[in-house]
Chain A
C-alpha cells in the first residue's frame, strides 16, 4: 500500500520540479555566468567545498568534488571572494558583462606562516546558509593535529571525536553513526565502495592520511546522489597529486612507515600520486621470538590528465591487505582493492558532468594448515555512474544522474589442500545482483533567508538468478517451537534453480530527501531535514563487533531491503565574531527490515542464512552538540551526544514472540553519553600540542544471571539480550609536535610527533568474558583491554 501511494506522488514531484525549472529559467535570462576551478596555489590540488561569493550580495557558490564552481548574477561590477577553510581569502574585481571563466588558486594558511603575518583564517565554522546539515567535515590538516595511537594518523578515529560517531571499542572494525550498524555506512574512496575500513582489526584505518585530500561524513540529510546504505555516507577523496612540483612526503614510525610521491606529468597536463604504507611490527615480533605475526600494507595511486579545458580524465586505485600468520598453523589475509576511471566533462559554463567506471573488491583467505584446507570468500562490484550538475541560476542548482552496480558475492569456498585432508570441497551458492538508481536533486534558494534542498532517488534492486534456492514448507525457513520455546531451523523441502537470465526477486523504492535552512540572522540559522534511504546488501554478523571474516549478502526472497526514515532538526550559531560556533542537532531515525539472529545462530559456512534470521526493526534518536573554538592559538571543540539505539525483532512469520520476547533491546552500539574534548595549541612556530579526552557509556552486553552444573562444567545462564553494560570508557591522549626546521627556503621540512595514547593507562574493557578458572573451577570475569598507555614517536617529512 505504502509503495502505491508513493508512486502516485511522484508525478507531482516531477511537475513541481519542472515548474521550478521553468520559473527560474525565465528569471535567469538576463544573467551572466562565472565558472571555473579553485585549486591550491602550492600543489595545484583542486579544492572541494571552497566558497565563492559576490561581496555585498547573497549570490554564492561552493566548489564540487572536482573543484568546479559556477555562479550567475545580473550584469554589473562585483568583488568576487574565494575562501576555503585553512586558506587565505582572495578577492578580485570583476566586470560581469558576459559569461566568463575564472580559475583561482588560493594559498594555504600554514604555508604562509613562515613568511608573513596572517591575521585571519577561514576556519571550520558553522555553515549557516546551506541546507546541508548532519554533515561532519574534517580537514585532513585537523586530523593530522590530533594525537594518534602508534603514530599512525587515522581518519576513522578522528571522526569518532565528533558527535554522533562511535566505534564499538578498541580492536573492532568499522564505526557507528547515529546508532547505526557498521554495514549501514557507505564508505567511498574516490567513489569506490570500501567494504572494510580497518587494518589490523580496527587499530588502523585503511585510509593513508598522506593520500587523502578531504573527507565528508553525512550522518543524515544524505544528498540524493548517494544511496545504498541507511545510516551514513563517508565520502573520502584522494589527492590528485601535486601538479606544480615533484614532492615526497613520508613518515617513519615505530611499527609502520609511509611514503608518498607526487608530481606533474604528461607535460604539465596532469599529475600523479603514489602512496604506500606498510607495517614492520611482524619483523620485530619475529626477532623477539614471537611465532605469530601480523602485518598490513596498502598502496594508493592516482593520476589525472587534462585533455582540454573542458575534459579531464582521472584514474585512481587502492590496494590494501592485512596478513596474519599463526606459527604456520593458520594464516589469514584480507583486504580491499578498487579502481576508478573518471571523465569530467564540462558541457558549458553551467553544465558539469562526470562519468565514472568503478571496480571494487573485498576478499579474505584463510589457510588452515593443520586441517589441510583453504577457505576463501569475496565480494566484487562493477559500478557505472553518470552524474550531472546544472547551475541554473544563483537560486537554483540541479544535480541529477544515474548509477548501476553489479555485485558478485562468493560467500565461501572450501578447498582441501592435501590428499589426507578430512575436509570435503565445498562451494556455498554464489550470488549476483544489480542495483540501479536514478536521482534528481535541487538546491533552491527560495528567499534570501530560506534555502531548500530537495530531491528524490529511485532505486531498483534485481537479485539475479544463476543459483539454486532452497524452498521451505509454508515458506518458513525456521519455526517457533512453542513447547520448548525456541526457534528451530527447518529443512528445505525443495530446491529451485534459477538460470542466469531469470530474476529471483526485484525491489524498488522511492527515496525522497529534503532539507531546509532558514537563516535567522547574520549569526544563526535553523535547519530541518528528512531523508529516506534503502539498503539492499547486508553484512551478516551475529557477534558484538564485526570481523573481517563476516560475509555480505544481497536482499532476496528471504531478506528484505532495509528502509530508513530520518528526521533531523538543527540550530547553528556563530558568535563572538565567529570565534566560536555552536551546532546542535536532534535526530530520530527508524529502520525497517533490520534482521537479527536467533539464539544460537550459526552463520559460518552456512548456505541457508534464512534459517538463522528473523526480520525486525530498529530506531535511534539523540541530541548532538558541538561547540568549537575556531580561531586563535588555541582551537578545539567539545562534542556531546545523548542518544539511544534499540531494535525489536517480532517477526511473526515463524510464529513465536520474536527475539528477547518481542521487546525492544539495546543495539550493541547504543551509547547513552558520549563526550569528547579535542584541543590544539600552537605555542610558537616550533612547538604545537594536541589533546583529546573521551568519555563514553559502556557498550551494551549480556551478562550471566546464574549457573548450573552440566557435563562437568559450570554452564552460565544468560539474561536478556544486551541488558547489561561494560564499564564506562574513558581515555586521555596527548601529542606534541616539534618542527626544527625554520628556514623558509629549505625544501626539506621535517617534524617530530610524540603521541601518548591513553595517558592514564586506564584498562578500558574491550570485552568481559565469563568462564571457569582452569585450576580452581571457580567462575570468574576476565577483562580484555586492548591498549594501555601507548607512547609513540614518528618523524614526518616533506620534500
Chain B
C-alpha cells in the first residue's frame, strides 16, 4: 500500500539546511501516519523534516531518540514555528536512524536543541518560503507581498489565501530558496509557549509502545545471565534444568554470557534462574571498601600529578598564603536505574538486520553491530521507540550487540529483556571517586589559589574548567584514573553531577571560614573573572551572576525566617547557568526539605512546559541521589540489585520546586542535565546552615539527619 520513492535529493541534511539540495520527491507516507490510513491524499516531502499532504496535514519528523527529555515535542516546535503552521493540527512522527538525512541523532550531552536550533529553523523557513513562492507564482504577485499564518499563504492586497495542502505539489517543482529569512523572536507563536508532550494521550491510555513492548511474528523473548561479579569469567554451565522449564525454547552462550529464549518474558527469566553456572574465582576481586583506601593512597603519592589545567603557580601561592583550607569529598558508584530496563529487539537474517529499541546513540548501535557481525551498516536498520529513560546508560550499546548476537545464534527474531537485577548490576556506573581540594587565601580573605586533585574509577573524574576556574590567579586541576573491572560511564550530567557538589560545598565552606556571605563571596569571584579573567573562561560571568541574583530574590536570601535554613549553590554546565537554593525545616528530630528555588539561564526556552519539568525533575533527581544513591560491591559483586535495597527518591520525599527562566533571545543552551548538578550542593550547604555540620560524602542519608 505504500510506494516509497526515495529520491536522494528529496532531503536536506540538517547541517546544510540552507544550502539547498531540496528537491521534492513524490513520496507516500509510511503506513503508520494518520493520513495514509485514509490513503487518499498525496504526501510530499518538503524536506527531511516536513511532509505535507494535499489535504493540508503537516507531518514533522522527530529525528532524535526521545528518552523523556522532550525533544520529540521541542524539535518539531522549532520547525513548526518557522513553517508557520497550527501546532494543534500537525502530527509528529519519530524518524528511524538515517545518517543520510539527519545528523546527530543522539540523546545526550543536553545537545539536541542546542545543535538543532539553527538548522531546524532553516528547514522550517525554507519549506515556508517554497510554499509562499508557489502561491505567489499562481497569483502572479511578488512573494515578498505574501505572508503566512497557521498553514495558509496570504496575499493581503488582493485578499487571496490558499492552504499549504493545495500548494505543496506546486511548491515541489520550484527551486529551493537559499538564505531564507528567519522570524524575529517577537513574532514567535509556538516557541516559548507551553506545549504538552506530543505523546501524552498515547502514554496515559497505555497505547504507546516502548522497546520492551516490541512484538513480532516468530519472536522469542530472551533473558540473559551476565557474570555475577565484575571481573568474573564463565567456566561452565548446565542448562538441562532450564530446558525443561515450560515455554523455554533455546539456550545460547557467547563471551561470558548465557541467554535463555522462551515464548514469554517470565518463562525466559525462569529458565535463566534454572541455569547452573560456574564462575571463576572471585576472592581477588575488589570491594568498594578497598577502592576508598586505594584512592587515598594514590592521591597521597606526590608524583601522581597529572594537570588538566594549570593557571599561575599554585606551589608558590600556597607557600605564601595567609591561610590554607582543605577538604575531601567522596562519590559512590551510581547505577542509572532507568525505569524501562535495558532491552532490545534484533532480527539478524541473511539479507539484513533489523534493530529496534531504546538507545541514546542509534548510530553507534548500528556500527557496533556491524563490526560484531561483519555485516555492512547499510544492511542494518535501526528504529527508535519512545524510551523509558536514559540518564546516560543507553549511550552504550552493549545490550544491542547482545540482542544481535542472541538473534544470530538462535536464528530467530528476539526481544532481549534484562531483569531489574541484570540492569542494576549491569555496570557503566557513575564512577566512584575521591576529590581533594585545597584553597589558599590572602590576608583579606581573598581566594588566591585553588588545587583540585581527584581520582575516579576509569576516565577523567573531573571538570577542569568549571568555576572558580577563571576567577583565581593560581589554579591547578589534577585528575587521575583508577583502572578497575567495574565499568563506568556517563551518568546524567557526567562529572558535573558530583563536581558541582564538591566545588560548591567547598566554596561555601571557605566563605563561612572567612566570614563572608556565600553568595557575596561568589559574586565577588565572578566580578574577578569578568575584570581579570585567568586562562580559559567557559561561563559568562554576567549571566552567572544573573541567575544568582534571580534565585536570591526568589528565595529571600539574607532575610532569615525562624526555623528555615537555606543553602545556596550554582553551576554552569552544557552552556547553561543555574543557581539553586534549598530550604530545610525541622520535622521532629530530623530535617525535611521544604522547598527548592531555581533560576536558569538557558537562552531561548523552546517549550516552557517541557523545560520547566526537565529542571524540576533534574533537581529532585539530584537531591534524591545525593540523599540515597549508593551502589556498593563485595568482591566485585553489587550488594544492591533491586529497589528493595536500592533507595530512589519517592513522592513523599520530593520537595516543592519553583523554577524561573531568565528571559532573553540568546541561542538555546542545554537543559536536560544542568538542573541536576547544583541540587546536592545546595542541600549540603543548607544542612550546614541547619546543623553546623559539613557533609562531604554521599549519600547524605548516612548522616542521620533525614528519615
A binds B: no
- What is the interface of chain A, defined by CB distance below 8 A to chain B? none
